[in-house]
């Protein structure tokens, strides 16, 4: 059975520190890509590549030594694409309450050994929350189209 979500947990280590003494945003982005990949690869049953990361929002900093939790959830599929919502939470290991630190949407495309896109299983939202998240993904796709049109001249 294919899973729609995956959770990763680990401690933020001193190697992840930035110049301000907090967890480096680049480390968080790497973790987001790893959690998203694990979710996408499980769903498609093969290899997938990142094609888009959008709207990364850093709400609150994380500290070295915090317990970090990444929750990656499939929210929409196209023919070969998978839209994954990733939320990053943290807390002091001795505390009870998780703090939401970061959110973003990351899109993966399933590819074969030749690097060609391959079809992915269709995701059908079942719960109210899943339906709302799929609509969120669809609205973001529409917004991205306008951004892509605007950036086209600079991306050649």
Complete domains list, the chain, with CATH: 5-154 (3.10.129.10)
Q: pLDDT (tens digit, 9 = 90+) per residue, 39-85?
A: 999 999 999 999 999 889 999 999 999 999 999 999 999 999 999 99
Q: In the prediction, which pLDDT does 1 show?
A: 62
Q: In the prediction, which pLDDT does 128 show?
A: 97
Burial class (CB in 10 A: 0-12, 13-18, 19+), 82: buried
Q: List Cα–Cα distances, 4 to 84, 97, 119, 132, in angstroms.
A: 9, 25, 17, 15
**Residue 138: other Cβ atoms inside 10 A:** 13
Judge whether residue 148 has pLDDT over 70: yes
This prediction's pTM: 0.92
- Residue 27 three-state SS: helix
Q: Please, which residues bridge with residue 23 across strands?
A: 17
């Amino acid at each position: 059975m294919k899973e729609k979500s995956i959770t990763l947990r680990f401690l933020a280590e001193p190697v992840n520190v930035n110049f301000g003494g907090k967890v480096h945003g680049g480390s968080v982005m790497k973790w987001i890509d790893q959690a998203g990949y694990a979710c996408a690869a499980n769903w498609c049953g093969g290899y997938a590549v990142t094609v888009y990361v959008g709207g990364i929002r850093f709400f609150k900093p994380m500290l070295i030594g915090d317990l970090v939790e990444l929750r990656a959830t499939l929210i929409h599929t196209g023919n070969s694409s998978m839209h994954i919502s990733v939320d990053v939470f943290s807390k002091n290991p001795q505390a009870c309450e998780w703090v939401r630190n970061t959110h973003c949407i990351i899109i993966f495309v399933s590819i074969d050994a030749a690097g060609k896109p391959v079809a992915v299983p269709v995701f059908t939202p079942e719960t109210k929350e899943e339906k709302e998240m799929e609509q969120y993904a669809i609205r973001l796709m529409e917004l991205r189209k306008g951004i892509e049109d605007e950036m086209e001249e600079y991306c050649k």
